[in-house]
């Protein structure tokens, strides 16, 4: 169940970002509709995290026009949990609402961590920590979820579980999501649309015309994956270290 598709959550026009002499993003136009999952792929260093941080409101050094309609929440590759706070306290950190704790408990239950509410972050597995990070984003009831390589550090099986979880959370909540990933298969399985970032520009904007749930062996999925890998060049991206700061 996705939200109505005529309302935009992100309207970005002519976004540019330079660091010193280096122009990382040039003239990016990007529109995200409510409830839409858009994957952003590109080689390491192509500017994916830079664009995500601009849209997340974490970087105001950009040029161009950015309109975001609604609330945003971000989750990164490393879960960024504070080790001296319990999982439930991490999830509701800075959430100034009287019902914050109840919302946190509910979000943790939704991501399958209802039994780890009072656990310390360092006792969680990688997959659990990532789910706690998703719960922390979810508890803010975002219209737009910004995910920077959220599953990049997980082992293959845990990553598949995380994909299923993201899909079910999206069905339940109907947020729009911008998913930065170097994993083209992940992009093709999860997204409605895939953007290929190249030389600081959106070089391709490809709709995924396959209904969910999608099978990785589906011929259309395989074909699309090959096509996008072709756009990225041989070997595509290599797994990268998290560079967001």
Which residues of the chain form contacts with ligand ADP (CB under 6 A)?
19, 24, 42, 44-50, 240, 243
CB 131 within 8 A of CB 109: no
Q: Could you give the CA distance from residue 105 to residue 33 in angstroms, rounded to a whole number?
A: 29
Between residues 51 and 134, which has the closer beta carbon with respect to Mg ion?
Answer: 51
Query: Which of ligand ADP, Mg ion, none has residue 117 at its interface (CB below 5 to 8 Å by kind)?
Result: none
Counting contacts by CB under 5 A, is residue 46 touching Mg ion? Answer: no
Out of Mg ion, ligand ADP, none, which partner does residue 86 contact, by CB within 5 to 8 A per kind?
A: none
CB of 61 to ligand ADP, least distance (A): 9
Minimum CB separation from ligand ADP for residue 53, in Å? 8
- Residue 6: exposure state from Cβ atoms within 10 A (0-12, 13-18, ≥19): exposed
Answer yes or no whether residue 50 interacts with Mg ion by CB under 5 A.
no
How far is 159 from 164, CA to CA, in rounded Å? Answer: 9
Of the candidate residues 46, 49, 77, 90, the single one contacting Mg ion (CB under 5 A): 49
Q: Which does 19 bind (CB under 5 to 8 A by kind): Mg ion, ligand ADP, none?
A: ligand ADP
Cα–Cα distance for residue pair 51/34, rounded to 1 Å: 19
Closest alpha carbon to 144 in 8, 6, 4, 5: 8
Binding segment for Mg ion (CB under 5 A), chosen from 41-49, 69-77, 92-100, 160-168, is 41-49
Sheet holding 63-68, edge to edge: 22-33, 8-19, 63-68
């Amino acid at each position: 169940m996705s939200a109505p598709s005529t309302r935009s959550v992100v309207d970005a026009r002519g976004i540019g970002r330079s660091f010193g002499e280096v122009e990382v993003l040039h003239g990016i136009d990007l529109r995200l509709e409510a409830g839409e999952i858009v994957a952003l792929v590109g080689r390491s260093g192509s500017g994916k995290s830079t664009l995500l941080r601009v849209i997340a409101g974490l970087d105001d050094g950009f040029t161009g026009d950015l309109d975001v309609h609604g609330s945003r929440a971000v989750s990164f590759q490393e879960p960024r949990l504070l080790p001296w706070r319990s999982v439930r306290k991490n999830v509701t950190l800075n959430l100034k609402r009287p019902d914050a704790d109840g919302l946190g408990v509910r979000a943790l239950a939704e991501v399958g961590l209802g039994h780890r509410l009072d656990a310390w972050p360092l006792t969680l597995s990688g997959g659990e920590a990532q789910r706690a990070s998703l719960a922390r984003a979810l508890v803010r009831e975002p219209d737009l979820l910004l995910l920077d390589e959220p599953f990049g550090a997980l082992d293959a099986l845990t990553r598949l579980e995380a994909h299923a979880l993201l899909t079910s959370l999206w069905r339940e909540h109907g947020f729009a999501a911008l998913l930065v990933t170097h994993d083209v298969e992940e992009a093709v399985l999860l997204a409605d649309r895939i953007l290929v970032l190249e030389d600081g520009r959106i070089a391709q904007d490809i709709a995924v015309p396959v209904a969910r749930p999608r099978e990785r062996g589906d011929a259309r999925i395989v074909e699309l994956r090959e096509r996008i890998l072709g756009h990225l060049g041989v070997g595509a991206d290599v797994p990268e270290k998290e560079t967001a700061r």
